[in-house]
Amino acid sequence: MAEETADEEFERLMEHSPGDYQALCRLGFDRQQAGLLDEARRCYEAAQKSAPPSPELAHNLGMVYWRLGDPRKARDCLERALALRPDALPTLDALARIRQEGADLDGAISCYERALSIDPHHHRAFAGMGQAFAEAGWEEDAIRAFETALAIEPDQLEASNGLGILYLRQGRFDLAKARFDHVLARCPDDTGVRRNQAMLLGAQGRFGEEEAVYREILARDPHDAEAHFGLASVLLLTGRLPEGWREYEWRFAPRPSGEAVRSPPDGLPRWSGEAVARQSSGLVIYAEQGFGDAIQFCRFAPLAAERFGRVCLHTRRPLLGLFERSFGALCEVVAELPDERGYTHHCPLMSLPLALGTTMETIPAAVPYLRPDAEKCRRWREALAGESRLKTGVVWTTGKHRQHRKSFELCPSLLAPLLTGVDVCWVSLNKEAPEPARAAVPRQAGVIDWAGELNDFDDTAALVMALDLVISVDTAVAHLAGALGKPVWLLNRAGSEWRWLLERSDSPWYPSMRIFRQRRRREWEPVLRDVAEALRSTIQGAA
């Protein structure tokens, strides 16, 4: 007799012994171990109905839900398991991880603290706490937690890798290398750590070696989305745009980091640059990623309009008014997901350079390509009409929420020598007013803050047009000023994004941009001294 399939065995069990709790649990566990998660779920759910609550069953079902991609149900099951057995360390650990993945860092840390109250030498809890601290931006606390985990268990590889990532962020490259080497000596096939090694090589400017590591990983696993995305960044950073755009398509693939870009609706065929019958064709361009990306890549919409009889440009609402005025004569601009009827193809916004075959030489860089509201521009000019000094907009915060990105920003106290040492009219272009603890420096320097009157990018664009210069960290306002053709000085961190290329003080994307680059990670003071000197030279040249 042929061996029963999982479904057949389950159906037979449900027909003859639907209340056999032990048999259902055994079958569920066997299927869980074999990776047959849907079958395991059916067994465990059936078992739940036939016996009083069990911490083991609730835990196992929670783990199955988690692996099936349902964190809410997984969390509910694990919380029920803990209610029945409060000292279950594996359940506490799993719940902490799920909370952490859901950005509930306080909840995750609470679980780890609870685990350590049960077992003060639980090295996995210290390692998990280190990860949570790192996500929250508490780097020194994270380092201490990782070091404690390693003191308890020197081969705690999660802690060793976590330390390496922190050291990499901090620019402590020798220490990062030692940590990654430690993990790989024990797990030579760990591709996640190999990718971390690749990022370390890139941070050291060893881009050829970084690329080689990604290609080595892909030779073993052609479907490694993280390696493809890392390779895309290296190729684009080094100006090899055609291959870079192709690899950049992997941004839509699910990645272990959880940072995949959401794919657009697929009701229409994807346009990849093929010839179409212009009069009978229509293209929907879908928004993706951040405001800066939208501002940088919307320049391709007019080129797409040359190929299609009808174009719809989808964007986010804060950009709607500005994009409607700028591109409304060429395409329909919408903030809601569009009705695709009447269109024949779609393309994600940042896939247009691939479809159009964009190279370094063919980047469309004619500026301005955005048109702010003329009446709003007039009002801002009037508001600044009595100011004879150089009217300079400044942005020191990125608006990004992930805490480990805080090194991308400038603390106002670092800006103090610039704001108080150069006699210009400073205008804050930050989206929100600074926190009270950080407001003293801008206030003492006389920085004008009209954040309450900037409701969308149309308002900000009009204010930028009334200024002489914009100085900004890497944020959407830097793109906005460049797209308006305004002089913009970008304060760029070491290890920056691919779009700013390597060692250039200019940008092929924005002719009016000048780039001031960090020499070492997190060291903004030399950059700000260079900016202050350049400002003084600009003022003297205008005198």
Q: What is the pLDDT of residue 144?
A: 97
Q: What is the pLDDT of residue 3?
A: 47
Domains, the chain, with CATH or none: 6-186 (1.25.40.10), 189-257 (1.25.40.10), 278-362 (3.40.50), 374-542 (3.40.50.2000)
Q: How far is CA 139 from CA 105, 131, 146, 170, 174, in A?
A: 14, 10, 10, 9, 18
Written in H, E and C, the secondary structure of 430-491 is CCCCCCHHHCHHHHHCCCEECHHHCCCHHHHHHHHHCCCEEEEECCHHHHHHHHCCCCEEEE
With vertex at residue 75, the alpha carbon angle to CA 72 and CA 80, rounded to the nearest 5 degrees, is: 130
Residue type, 543: A
Per-residue tens of pLDDT for the chain, all 543 residues = 344 555 555 555 555 555 677 888 888 888 888 888 998 898 889 888 888 889 999 999 999 999 998 999 999 999 999 999 999 999 999 999 999 988 899 999 999 999 999 999 999 999 999 999 999 889 999 999 999 999 999 999 999 999 999 999 999 999 999 999 999 999 999 999 999 999 999 999 999 999 999 999 999 999 999 999 999 999 999 999 999 999 999 999 887 665 668 888 888 999 999 999 999 999 999 999 999 999 999 999 999 999 999 999 999 999 999 999 999 999 999 999 999 999 999 999 999 999 999 999 999 999 999 999 999 999 999 999 989 999 999 999 875 544 444 445 677 788 888 998 899 999 999 987 666 666 777 888 889 999 889 999 999 999 999 999 999 998 999 999 999 999 999 999 887 789 999 989 999 999 999 999 998 888 899 999 999 999 999 998 876
Neighbouring C-beta atoms of residue 87, cutoff 10 Å:
12
Q: What are phi and psi of 286, to 5 degrees?
A: -95, 135
Report the predicted TM-score, pTM, of the whole model to 2 decimal places.
0.86
Which residue reads 């950009």 in tokens? Answer: 319
**Cβ-contact 429, 477 below 8 angstroms:** yes
Q: How far is CA 23 from CA 27, 47, 56, 298, in A?
A: 6, 9, 14, 59
Q: What is the pLDDT of residue 211?
A: 98
